[in-house]
Amino acid sequence: MQTKSIILALLLTAVLGADCLAQTRADPTMRIAAQQQAMLKLKMMDGTWRGNASTFLPNGEKHQITQTERIGPFLDGAVKVIEGRGYEADGKVSFNAFGTVSFDVASNVYTLHSYAHGFVGDYVLTPTTDGFSWDIPAGPMTIRYTAVIKEGVWKEVGDRIMPNKEAVRFFEMELKRLGDTTWPAAAAVSFQ
């Protein structure tokens, strides 16, 4: 009899606890609206882009590729989805990256979640009046990417920054906006 009472008490606790959680769960509408509003600061990224990108190798050699980007809103504009591809002169893809940018209402922080060169990372992204920047901590060094997007032109640089030393530029990119894209939200699987 005592076992039945314990089981009944546990069931009641579970049911009442779930009911209390359901009653205290906040309506996501306001949180999503705040995320959508925050992502408007990065709307200038949306679309398809193509241009030149150069990497400066440690031996001083400059390696140039054709860089493309396609960027679009997802989850009704609460998240931005990014795919970058770099092409060699013969058309071979030598660089491919995928990322998402989101805004956390609680912390007031934009995060770039990135997959590139076999690495995965979460990085703070900081919108500016005409672009954005983001840093990759790498031990004592910081890798900083800074982008300016104006009048359909996206210019971005990458610098290696060591304490008490001049920044070393290792990357430059200049893309032109080709047009709009319905990616990634288009062509969703229908409910039937």
Q: Which CATH architecture has domain 45-179?
A: Beta Barrel (2.40)
Q: Which two tokens stand for residue 172?
A: 């430059």
Q: What is the pLDDT of residue 137?
A: 94
Q: What residue type is assigned to position 190 of the chain? A: S
Q: What is the pLDDT of residue 191?
A: 85
Q: What is the pLDDT of residue 135?
A: 96
Q: What is the pLDDT of residue 24?
A: 59
Q: What residue type is assigned to position 27 of the chain? A: D
Whole-Å CA distances, 151 to 112, 114, 126, 166: 24, 26, 20, 30
Indicate the burial class of 38 (C-beta count within 10 angstroms; 0-12, 13-18, 19 or more): buried
Residues forming beta bridges with residue 114, ordered by sequence position: 99, 121
Characterize the bridge pairing of strands 79-87 and 47-56. Answer: unpaired
pLDDT tens for residues 4-18? 655 545 454 554 454
Q: What is the pLDDT of residue 1?
A: 55
Q: What is the pLDDT of residue 75?
A: 95
Residues forming beta bridges with residue 138, ordered by sequence position: 141
Low-confidence ranges of the chain (pLDDT < 70): 1-25
Considering only CA atoms, which of 127, 162, 168, 165 is closest in space to residue 142?
A: 162
